[in-house]
Amino acid sequence: MIHPGAARMLTRPATSPDTATAIALRGIVKEFPLRRGATVRALDGLDLEIAHGEFVALLGPSGCGKSTVLRLVAGLEQATEGTVSVEGAGPADLIRSHRLGVAFQEHALLPWATVRDNIALPFRVAGRPVDHERVAALISLVGLRGFETARPRQLSGGMRQRVAIARALALAPDVLLLDEPFGALDAVTRRRMNLELARIWAEQHITTLLVTHDVDEAVLLADRVVVMTGRPGRVRHVREIAIPRPRGTDVTRDPGFHAIVDELTALLDDPEEAP
């Protein structure tokens, strides 16, 4: 017999700030070695917390360290100073337990494998039996039914991106990291993909950190937009996006949406530091 509150406790964290935090970066300094012992400081005192089920978009000038933040959370880089915790542990634990879904700009699909096999890949990597029902459900979720046996080269750029996102979702991750996942797409396809991701996310509510340089995309998708300073990067401004969900095409025609986009664009165009 399960306690009536147990199901809720299993799906939703308690309200205390510590357990509500899915990702925490505290006092992050990241330096990269250059030649002859010199270093470049990519991040300098970055603090960022992301709540369970929250969608945060990271905006900032090119080279400010956005990808570095994602790579730190993904455990692909180590911080020079500061701490990174994901689901209360280090990134390595999350990776070991396959609870992290990642889609970066270079989507790296296996060219010889079908859509179905590309999406099933994480099961094989994790040494788990492929959940064919889930793979089929993901194919529907990203609108690729009928293309199960197609190879990547037979797909458009937008369809390949959708395969990459479905693959990132394959093992029902707790945390989704997206680095410019639509960067290579034309504006129309990109907007379509944004709406697609908004729809998928409305169904799954996975803690998501999206790096983008597209302000519209950030405002359309995120609960909070975090604007970084130029290199060395740290958090310059945080903007809550209170636009109700689900957010569809109508949102992008709303004056309130454009007001937020203009506000954030002005901030990005302004090289001055916020006080």
Interface contacts to Mg ion, rule CB under 5 A: 67
Region of residue 25 (phi > 0: left; psi between -120 and 50: alpha; otherwise: beta): beta
Q: Choose among ligand ADP, Mg ion, none what residue 226 binds, the Cβ cut-off being 5 to 8 Å by kind.
A: none
Nearer to ligand ADP, 60 or 152 (CB): 60
Q: Choose among ligand ADP, Mg ion, none what residue 107 binds, the Cβ cut-off being 5 to 8 Å by kind.
A: none
Does 181 engage in binding with ligand ADP (CB under 6 A)? no
User: Cα dist. 185→108, 179, 188, 193, 216 in Å?
Assistant: 15, 14, 8, 9, 14
Q: Choose among ligand ADP, Mg ion, none what residue 68 binds, the Cβ cut-off being 5 to 8 Å by kind.
A: ligand ADP
Nearer to ligand ADP, 74 or 159 (CB): 74
Nearer to ligand ADP, 68 or 207 (CB): 68
Nearer to Mg ion, 67 or 194 (CB): 67
Q: Choose among ligand ADP, Mg ion, none what residue 152 binds, the Cβ cut-off being 5 to 8 Å by kind.
A: none
Region of residue 226 (phi > 0: left; psi between -120 and 50: alpha; otherwise: beta): beta
CA Rg value for the chain:
19
Q: Choose among ligand ADP, Mg ion, none what residue 42 binds, the Cβ cut-off being 5 to 8 Å by kind.
A: ligand ADP
CB of 91 to ligand ADP, least distance (A): 16
Residue 130 has phi, psi (to 5 degrees) of -70, 130
Angle at 99 between CA 96 and CA 104, to 5 degrees: 100
Nearer to Mg ion, 16 or 62 (CB): 62
CB of 231 to Mg ion, least distance (A): 12
Residues 22-81 that bind ligand ADP (CB under 6 A): 32, 40, 42, 60, 62-68
Nearer to ligand ADP, 60 or 158 (CB): 60
Binding mask 182-221 for ligand ADP (x = CB under 6 A): ----------------------------------------
CB of 69 to ligand ADP, least distance (A): 7
Q: CB of 236 within 8 A of CB of 274?
A: yes
- Which among 212, 183, 210, 238 has a CA at the least distance from the CA of 59? 212
Q: In the block, which residue shows the tokens 């006080």?
A: 275
Does 112 engage in binding with ligand ADP (CB under 6 A)? no
Beta-carbon count within 10 A of 203 CB = 9
CB of 211 to ligand ADP, least distance (A): 6
Number of residues that bind ligand ADP (CB under 6 A): 12
Which two three-digit tokens encode residue 117?
């096999």
Residues 228-247 that bind ligand ADP (CB under 6 A): 231
Residues that bind ligand ADP (CB under 6 A): 32, 40, 42, 60, 62-68, 231
